[in-house]
Structure 1
Amino acid sequence: MFFSIIIPLYNRPQEIKELLETLTLQTYTQFEVLVIEDGSVDDAEAIVNTFAGKLDIRYFKKSNEGQGFTRNFGFERAKGDYFIVFDSDCLIPANYLEIVNNSLAVNYLDAYGGPDGAHASFTPTQKAISYSMTSPFTTGGIRGNKKSIGVFHPRSFNMGISRQVWEKAGGFIITRLGEDIEYSIRIHSLGFKIGLIPDAIVYHKRRTNFWQFYKQLHFFGRARINIYKFFPNELKPVHFFPAIFTIGVILTIVFNIFGWQIAWLGNSVIAAVILLIFFHAWWKNQSVKIAFLSIIAAFTQLIAYGLGFMQDFWKRVIFNRS
């Protein structure tokens, strides 16, 4: 099988350098790379050109449209039997393509997703954020999980589709705000087989500080409502959990300020969540520092997602504004 790796890029030249370096180490070599600069001011053309003799690579520049339509630009120009999408802030293990190729040979999937993890080179904050996004104690536990809730929906930081999917389903119809989930649902609705390849892991840097992480997860919360506008049946009870948790934290703070006795209930729940996250993160990362940072990451994730979810639920569902 010949793979086309498609990487949208926006003002991240150093990230693409690190990603391309990992692709030069792939044990399976039947692939091309398409890097599409999406209207960047700080472009990576000079960096990408240094890989011309190491990879079968093509570089494109286009006006800014967002990651979804930029991936479509790559799909239209790809030569492969199978298209793989990575975010520019990922590092790819050397055996990634070998794992995918072998898995598809045994159990063919029309579209697949893979999990993400923390690389040894990540900072403690990045490792804490990675823990939060994959922990069973946050909504991140359903991302890249072998036992996902309902139909598995690949995420675009680590996602593959066959040429047949592209030809029948087309590409992304929204460019951001949940574009990968919408695409996954639409692929499944057309009868294609979608699944997780558990060993096709990538190391996803995500954000480097908690403020950036907050903004990203607030956007994810809003994106869930955007998906609801396309597919109302896809809004599940689990998606309300961060909003409920956020309301609970706010009420607990208010109860404590006014000295109301009911505050003990919220305090107990929050304390239990903190302890669960701390000891689980400590066990997973073997680091007390990362365990403490994981508490901050998890609360940032849940509250940011919850506030974004409630903001657009109120605006777009209750008041039906666009």
Structure 2
Amino acid sequence: MRKFSVIIPIYNRPDELQELLESLTQQSYTNFEIIVIEDGSMLKCDTVCEFYKDKLDIKYFYKENGGQGFARNFGFEKASGDYFVQLDSDAIVPDTYFEIVNTEIDKHGLDAYGGPDAAHVSFTPTQKAINYAMTSFLTTGGTRGKSKNLGGKFHPRSFNFGLSRKVWEKVGGYKITRMGEDIEFSIRIIEAGFKVELIPAAFIYHKRRTSLSQFYKQLFFFGRARVNIWRFFPKELKMVHLFPVAFTLFIWSLAFQYLMFPILFYLSFALLLIFVLANFVKASIENKSLKVGILAIPASLIQLFAYGMGFIKEMFLSSEKN
């Protein structure tokens, strides 16, 4: 049986880890170990790991804070499995996850894979709205979890990302610890000639952020990270990545339109209203909740605007350095 090593970097989130480990006790495929890397946390999760030592093959390590990419590298070095599976600490894993992954690896000869994310029924309405914004094609968030998308080749993301030991031995681990580190790593794996695909059925429930203000900060950082990836791989900057920038500039322009071109302002406002209503309807139907639909309105606007703001700021910093 193929042995999986589950790599989990964590920083000040012991409660989240408890939910993740509990879900891992329910797996139908059980040949896996868990490597938890405490990345310089003040709120340690050692007692949580100790609680599960009789239920899971779990190893706990503490290291000085170095960022999630380098924490995963630390985990790779400690792993004994044939396949490394990276999960974020805010994940809940369905009980057939490893069974599905193992079957798909054999069926398609995958050297590495990524899986999508979804909202669990226990998530709060805000979390479900954020999940909608991050997975809907209307916000461009849906381009992340598709095997073929407007952003080019599928690049696994670290919240749900597996690779064989052979890949790690040839490509190495993360070169950067934040700012798009998982996409940079994915691109190098693909460029090395390894077979990388999305496994649609290998989804996890991803909590993401619990408030809209936290979500704004996260998406702002994602926008900055896209510019950082462009520094490494200029060809990886696609039109779809510029759509949030265009949206941000559009929002900025509304005040000017109102003062100088009222007719154009009303036309622009009507387009924005259509976008807002489309997200409200789509989110309400998908989640069967008007409350989630209402919360999806600010979440969708934040998904685009915050990303665009982060992108613009980082691009401006790049031009200043040059």
Interval containing the TM-score (normalised by the shorter chain): over 0.9
What CA distance in whole angstroms lies between the structure 1 residues aligned with 2:86 and 2:14? 17
Q: Aligned partners of 1:168, 1:308: CA distance in 2, in Å? A: 33
Aligned counterpart for 1:154 among listed residues 150, 153, 156: 156
Query: Is 2:178 aligned against 1:188?
Result: no
Question: Is contact 2:10-2:37 (8 Å) kept?
Answer: yes
* Equivalent in the alignment of 1:64: 65
CA positional deviation for 1:256 = 2.6
Question: Paired residue for 2:301, among 288, 299, 302?
Answer: 299
Q: Does structure 2 conserve the Cα–Cα contact (< 8 Å) formed by 1:249 and 1:266?
A: no
What amino acid maps onto 2:279 in structure 1? I
8 Å Cα contact 1:117/1:204 also seen in 2: yes
Structure 2 counterpart SS, 1:25:
coil
CA distance in structure 1 between the partners assigned to 2:179 and 2:50 by the alignment? 31
In 2, the alpha carbon distance for the partners of 1:171 and 1:25 equals 29
Map 1:110-125; keep pairs closer than 5 Å: 110-125=111-126
Partner residue of 1:222?
Answer: 224
Residue equivalent to 1:176: 178
* Residues 113-161 of structure 1: per-residue CA shift (max 9 Å, x gap): 0000000000000000000000010121111124323211000000001
1:129-168 equivalences under 5 Å are 129-149=130-150, 150-168=152-170
Partner of 2:13: 12
| 1:107 maps onto 2:108 in alignment | yes
Aligned positions, number: 320
Indicate the residue corresponding to 2:32 in structure 1: 31
SS at 2:101's partner residue?
helix
Q: Distance in 2 between matches of 1:257 and 1:155?
A: 43
Tell me by how many angstroms 1:301 deviates: 0.9
Assess if the C-alpha contact under 8 Å between 1:7 and 1:85 holds in 2. yes
| Structure 1 residue runs of 4 or more that deviate by more than 6 Å after TM superposition | none
Following superposition, the deviation at residue 108 of structure 1 comes to 1.7
CA RMSD of aligned residues (A): 1.1
- C-alpha distance in 2 between matches for 1:190 and 1:146: 19
**Given the two structures, how large is their TM-score scaled by the length of structure 2?**
0.97
Structure 1 length-normalised TM? 0.97
1:246 equivalent in alignment to 2:244: no
Q: Is the 8 A contact 2:147 2:197 kept in 1?
A: no
Corresponding position of 1:128: 129
CA contact (8 A) 2:147 2:154 kept: no
What do the CA deviations read for 1:142-186 (whole angstroms, capped 9, x no partner)?
Answer: 111243232110000000010000000000000000000000001
Which residue of structure 1 aligns with residue 84 of structure 2? 83
Partner secondary structure for residue 223 of structure 1: helix
Unaligned 5+ residue runs, structure 1?
Answer: none
| Aligned-partner Cα distance in 2 for 1:223–1:108 | 31
Instruction: Name the SS for the 2:183 alignment partner.
Output: helix
What residue identity is the alignment partner of 2:118?
G
1:257 to partner: Cα distance: 5.2
Q: Is the 8 A contact 1:68 1:179 kept in 2?
A: yes
C-alpha distance in 1, partners of 2:166/2:313? 38
Match of 2:268 in 1: 266
Question: Structure 1 residue 252: deviation in Å?
Answer: 1.5
Identity across aligned pairs (percent)? 54
Residue number in structure 2 paired with 1:41 = 42
Shift of 1:259: 6.5
CA distance in 2, matches of 1:208, 1:258: 40
Query: Is 2:9–2:89's contact at 8 Å kept on the other side of the alignment?
Result: yes
Cα offset, 1:29, TM superposition: 0.3
Q: Following TM superposition, by how much is the alpha carbon of 1:271 offset from its aligned partner in structure 2, in angstroms?
A: 1.0
Residue 258 of structure 1, CA deviation: 5.6
Distance across 2 between alignment mates of 1:136 and 1:259:
31
Q: How many Å separate the matches in 1 of 2:267 and 2:118?
A: 34
Q: Which residue in the other structure is 1:73 paired with?
A: 74
8 A contact 1:9–1:88 mirrored in 2:
yes
Instruction: From 205, 208, 211, give the equivalent of 2:210.
Output: 208
Q: Which amino acid aligns with 1:97?
A: F
Could you tell me how far apart the structure 2 residues matched to 1:193 and 1:232 are? 22
User: Which amino acid in structure 2 is aligned with residue 287 of structure 1?
Assistant: S
Match of 1:319? Answer: 320
SS of residue in 2 equivalent to 1:4: strand
Question: What secondary structure, in the 3-state scheme, does the structure 2 residue paired with 1:262 have?
Answer: helix
Deviation (angstroms), 1:279: 0.9
Q: Distance in 2 between matches of 1:214 and 1:307?
A: 10
1:222-243 per-residue CA deviation (whole Å, 9 max, x = no partner) reads: 0000000001111111111001
Q: Quick one: distance in 1 between partners of 2:303 and 2:255?
A: 18
1:240-294 residue CA offsets vs partner (Å, 9 max, x unmatched): 1001001111112332356622102211210110111111111111111100100
